[in-house]
A and B are shown apart, each in its own frame.
Chain A
Amino acid sequence: MNETKKIQLEYSQMESDRMRLNVGPQHPSTHGVLRLEVEIDGEIVTEVIPHIGYLHRCFEKHCEKMTYPQVIPYVDRLDYISAMNNEWPYVMAVEKLLEIKVPEKVEYIRVIMAELNRIANHQIAVATFGLDAGAFTPFLYFFRDREYILWIMEKCSGARLLFNYFWIGGLAHDVYPSFKQEVLDAIKQVRKTNAEVMNLLIYNKIFIDRTANIGILPADVAINYACSGPTLRGSGVKWDLRKDDTYSIYNRFDFNIPVGKGEVGQLGDCWDRNIVRMYEMEESCKIIEQAVAQMPDTGDVKEAIPAKLRPPKGAEIYQRAENPKGELGFYVVSNGTEKPDRIKARGTSFVNLSVLPVISKGYMFADLILILGSIDIVLGEVDR
């Protein structure tokens, strides 16, 4: 028991007014099993200490006992809201180790799936962020629309959330005949609802009053804490792995990288992080439209799947990709057998959450919930 937490407090003269509270681990607004130890002075937050690990499932230890394809279902369960995006960097890492060239059609399907899943993820992120602020209706709208996307994925992979769809060198199944049309219908619906939510929620005065000018994350702090994704772009840093460290076929598409501009408050506040997600959904729709138009109809999605999976001994790679939440990386080390020697997942939420104690100090306690919601964490990825 010599490793218990040492808390050093700087007691002010208002000592008797300070109070320590536990938020979570079982609490709806912590988005999972996260425990926040919060010190408050009246209603002002003076310190936040996140305690994580309640959902630790020994992902990395399990991987050492699994063959490379068997790891994919485990990878799904990291960020279970955007499982397609999780699978991608992992299969890309192994493909690079084996030097496999993936067929053209597979690349297009992967882009479409990943972008659809990005939309589904951002819908949940914005919906639950609205819910944290007290807006219930957009939540229902978004969950209704998300269903269209999940149906497409279910038809392709057989599962609603944890797909096991991207395989090393290919895909588990080919797409079904009416796939392209249904994808286009789904993004039409996404655009319609987004336009509605922009009026209903994003530019609503109550919502702006509630979320602007809180949780301000300056760009240099964000980079020092290695934040990525909308959390970083909300602070005005124009950086997206799809463009800046491009992978797969993203260089063939024309899309923008939306960044926070401090439109209604200070740059890098909660509202900015949230609006980046709204604009990103539109950019994803653009990518999907282009990908659907360019996608070849013929081709075997399983032709490059290797029969024997043995990367060269000692080979190692760090492959990252733009998850909806930010940079998700896998560090894969091979020992020459069919089982990996080491897989380290660089969880996006794990890294983004570490900035919370810095950006929530000095705000009201009720704002802490919003600041946490604006980072958009999934505890499956934090605890692994």
Chain B
Amino acid sequence: MLANEIYEILKKEFGDGILEFKEEAPSDPYISVEPSKIFDICHTLRDSSELMFDYLMCLSGLDLGESLGIVYHLYSFKHTHKIVIKTTVPKETPTLPSVMHLWRTADWHEREAFDLYGMIFSGHDNLIRILLPYDWEGYPMRKDYNEPEEYHGMRVPY
């Protein structure tokens, strides 16, 4: 199924929850959605018989300056089609629903996004740091991050 057909299906079901569809070479076509609806939209994407996106290829965090972005790359084994779902959350309140219970692989991806960008995925079972030490402060992948002077007595900048 083509990306614009997937967009039509979602638009019919969620209306205002779907914000934008963009298809412009060489980028992958994407659909941007409302962050609060992300769980319901992903649920439809996974379980609707014509979509069946059963494979979450990648979940990435982004720093867009004013806000934070989350990008979901989905693939369907049955229909062999792909789609990119994007959403943004404000930096002050970066909360959005977790999709961990739809695709278990999102567990570690969401922990990584939390670790490096500081998004709070509500509904995640165990949202703790994954790559950095458990007591690290701040979110290093944000563009305005300043590294600390020292960590447990060790000098950080070199």
Hey, which bits of chain A sit against chain B, CB under 8 A?
1, 3-6, 52-53, 56, 58, 60-61, 96-97, 99, 221, 223-226, 237, 239, 244-245, 312, 314-318, 320, 327, 329, 331, 333, 342, 344, 346, 350-351, 354, 383-384
> Bound state CA distance, A350 and B60, in angstroms?
14
Contact check, B104 vs A224: say whether CB atoms are below 8 A apart.
yes
> Bound state CA distance, A4 and B134, in angstroms?
6
Nearest B residue (CB) for A95 = B26
> Bound state CA distance, A315 and B28, in angstroms?
8
Q: Chain B 85-107 against A: per-residue CB contact (8 Å), 1 yes, 0 no?
A: 00000000000000000011101
9 A–B pairs (Cβ distance < 8 Å), ordered by A: A3-B134, A53-B130, A237-B77, A318-B58, A320-B57, A329-B57, A344-B58, A350-B108, A354-B104
> Bound state CA distance, A244 and B54, in angstroms?
16
Q: Which of B58, B63, B84 contacts A346 (CB 8 A)?
A: B58
Instruction: Tell which of A224, A327, A333 has the most Cβ of chain B within 10 Å.
Output: A224
Contact check, B57 vs A1: say whether CB atoms are below 8 A apart.
no
Distance in Å: Cβ of A320 to nearest Cβ of chain B = 7
Add 14 more A-B contacts to A4-B134, A53-B132 (CB < 8 A): A1-B135, A5-B128, A53-B129, A53-B133, A56-B131, A56-B132, A97-B26, A221-B104, A223-B55, A224-B103, A224-B104, A314-B27, A346-B58, A351-B105
A96 and B57 contact, Cβ closer than 8 Å, known pairs A3-B128, A331-B73: no
Nearest A residue (CB) for B137 = A3
Q: Which residues of B contact A53 (CB under 8 A)?
A: 129-133
A4 and B135 contact, Cβ closer than 8 Å, known pairs A53-B130, A331-B60, A333-B62: yes
- A-B contact count, CB below 8 Å? 89
Does B146 belong to the interface (CB within 8 Å)?
A: no
Q: Which residues of B contact A6 (CB under 8 A)?
A: 126, 128
Does B49 belong to the interface (CB within 8 Å)?
A: no
- Kindly identify, within residues 113 to 129 of chain B, every residue whose CB is under 8 Å from any CB belonging to chain A: 116, 126, 128-129
Distance in Å: Cβ of B145 to nearest Cβ of chain A = 9
Contact check, A60 vs B116: say whether CB atoms are below 8 A apart.
yes
Does B48 belong to the interface (CB within 8 Å)?
A: no
Instruction: Tell which of B26, B28, B126 has the most Cβ of chain A within 10 Å.
Output: B26
Q: Which residues of B contact A58 (CB under 8 A)?
A: 140
Contact check, A317 vs B26: say whether CB atoms are below 8 A apart.
yes
Q: Which residues of B contact A384 (CB under 8 A)?
A: 131
Contact check, A316 vs B130: say whether CB atoms are below 8 A apart.
no
> Bound state CA distance, A231 and B134, in angstroms?
29
Q: Which residues of B contact A96 (CB under 8 A)?
A: 26
Q: Which residues of B contact A60 (CB under 8 A)?
A: 116, 141
Does B71 belong to the interface (CB within 8 Å)?
A: yes
Nearest B residue (CB) for A382 = B131
Does B56 belong to the interface (CB within 8 Å)?
A: yes
Q: Which of A1, A52, A245, A317 contacts B130 (CB 8 A)?
A: A52
Q: Which residues of A contact B105 (CB under 8 A)?
A: 224-226, 351, 354
Q: Which residues of B contact A4 (CB under 8 A)?
A: 134-135
